[in-house]
Amino acid sequence: MWFFSSPAIVFGDGALGNLETIKGQRACIVTDANLVKLGYVERVKTALASTGMQISVIDDVEPDPSLETVKAGAARMLETNPDWIIALGGGSVMDAAKGMWILYEHPDIDPEAINPIDLIGLRVKARLIAIPTTAGTGSETTWAIVLTNHAEQRKLGLGNREAVPDIAILDPEFIRNLPGKVTTETGLDALTHAIEGYTSSYANDFCDGLCLQAAKLVFDYLPRCYHDGQDMEARTHMQNAAAIAGLGFGNSMAALAHGMGHALGGALHIPHGCAVSLFLPYSIEYCAHVEGTRYASIARFLSLPAENEQAAAASLVEAIRKLERKIGQPLTLAEAGIDRVSFERELDHLISNAMNDTQTIMALRVPEEDDLRRLFIYAFDGKKVDF
């Protein structure tokens, strides 16, 4: 028994106009200060104008949002009492908004204890609209919530099936001017979602097609976005790819690259998309040593050599690294700017956090401590995983 959760998805030119159809009394926009400066919040307010709703704004969500940010946001919602929460931003904003929503509805919940097991009882006070301003995180179509415990330098892979947004609005105008670095990092996050969603231990029929199509869209359109940020056809396809990959992995789970990436992000502050995609080739090489992988299906769908699982894994890894190189992404931890001293200082911490990340245990091959140590070291040095 399993579930497939999805928001209603409004996509394409003019999608933001869908806000005019929303019925309610009070809306709370959750966003970050930069998006206020860019005028994006004003666009949303304008779209909401005809609804007559009172609008409040929480505009201080930081990258890798903290537990404290979520608590503070929920406290402000308790003052303004919204019946719609509108998350306008990237993954950090959308994840923070989900956390705030849960605490707004149930102030007694400890945010670190948000889990996929308990029935929370959301949608008594409010519903959630997600409007992504990046193309990769997929948070607009998932129930996943990544928050950071800064005291422990640890990212927490949380979530609850009820926390999937009610509506995801994919309006290409919000990603038209996405900076190049953010474009590539978030785009590779979508690729990692697609491949891990297809190969996780929870993979299922409902997610397979979504993951394959999302992976293909990323290979086809991310290089175009990188070379010409104003290529709106490519931008739009990437926006769709991110949401589709979100539906895919959100209902089949991510895996080892995410577990390691979360650990890296928490300890050494590498952006999420960069971190998870950096580990993706290494995790494929690692998992390819066991039975039951499905790399040949992915490789064939992408028109890559796929004589058998091993060959398919190798060709997929090569294609990913070629893409990453083409769009200027690091292939090793050293290339990502991490010096050896810092890496060695944090290694035990990285291993410990990756070991207990909720996504690591979804991998087809779940590494023990010794293997994780070697995986991190191989990823630092850029060595092919041979164990």
> For binding to other proteins (CB under 8 A), which residues are involved?
1-3, 110, 112-119, 156-158, 161, 201-202, 355-358, 360-361, 366, 368-369
Nearer to other proteins, 5 or 80 (CB): 5
Residue with tokens 């070291």: 377
We find the least distance from the C-beta atom of residue 68 to other proteins, in angstroms, to be 15
We find the least distance from the C-beta atom of residue 101 to other proteins, in angstroms, to be 18
Nearer to other proteins, 55 or 158 (CB): 158
Nearer to other proteins, 112 or 166 (CB): 112
Tokens matching residue 339: 């010096």
Nearer to other proteins, 44 or 260 (CB): 260
Nearest Cα neighbor of 143 from 258, 266, 16, 3 is: 3
Nearer to other proteins, 183 or 360 (CB): 360
Nearer to other proteins, 311 or 361 (CB): 361
Nearer to other proteins, 118 or 233 (CB): 118
We find the least distance from the C-beta atom of residue 115 to other proteins, in angstroms, to be 5
| DSSP helix/strand/coil, 63 | coil
We find the least distance from the C-beta atom of residue 297 to other proteins, in angstroms, to be 22
**How many DSSP H helices and E strands does the chain contain?**
13, 8
We find the least distance from the C-beta atom of residue 183 to other proteins, in angstroms, to be 32
We find the least distance from the C-beta atom of residue 118 to other proteins, in angstroms, to be 7
We find the least distance from the C-beta atom of residue 366 to other proteins, in angstroms, to be 8
CA atoms of 310 and 290, how far apart (whole Å): 10
Sort residue 384 into left (φ over 0), alpha (ψ -120 to 50) or beta: beta
CA atoms of 295 and 146, how far apart (whole Å): 27
Residue with tokens 């926006």: 239
Nearest Cα neighbor of 283 from 213, 376, 352, 155 is: 376
Task: Find the Cα–Cα–Cα–Cα dihedral 74, 76, 81, 83, rounded to 10°.
Answer: -50
Q: Are 359 and 145 in contact (CB under 8 A)?
A: no
Tokens matching residue 114: 């948000």
CA atoms of 198 and 215, how far apart (whole Å): 10
Nearer to other proteins, 8 or 290 (CB): 290
Rounded to an integer, what is the distance from CA 290 to the centroid of its chain?
27
Q: How far apart are the first and last CA of the chain?
A: 34
Nearest Cα neighbor of 61 from 84, 79, 80, 85 is: 85
We find the least distance from the C-beta atom of residue 58 to other proteins, in angstroms, to be 24
